[in-house]
Amino acid sequence: MSTINALPSVAPSSAQSSGAAAIAAGSQRLSQDAQLIANPVNQDITSSLLDLNQSLQLAEAGANVISTSNKLLGTLLDVLA
């Protein structure tokens, strides 16, 4: 019996779930900030522009977490194969 066949199927890892949550939160904040910039309530949109950049970094960080998790899983599978 192969070692890989003996591995149970698993749900997405907590790292992947965290990464997906960060992407979702970043995307939601990006949408909110874009709306505030497009239709400013007041003339000062500086805080929205700064938050827009932070939202983008949050989404990118989430994508990097998922990418790293996938690479780690691939390495683990290579070691077990």
Residue 8 has pLDDT above 80, yes or no: no
User: What number of other Cβ atoms are within 10 A of residue 32's Cβ?
Assistant: 14
**Residue 1 resides in a domain:** no
**Residue 3 resides in a domain:** no
**Residue 57 resides in a domain:** yes
Residue 12 has pLDDT above 50, yes or no: yes
Residue 6 has pLDDT above 50, yes or no: yes
**Residue 22 resides in a domain:** yes
CA dist 17 and 62 (Å) reads 9
Provide the pLDDT confidence category of residue 1 given band limits of 50, 70 and 90.
very low
Long-range contacts of 46-49, Cβ-Cβ distance < 8 Å, separation of 24 or more: none
pLDDT score at 11: 60
pTM: 0.74
CA dist 55 and 34 (Å) reads 11
Q: Where are the alpha helices (DSSP H) in 1-81?
A: 3-6, 14-38, 46-80
Q: Considering its fold, how many domains does the chain have in total? A: 1
Q: Which residues constitute the domain of residue 45? A: 14-80
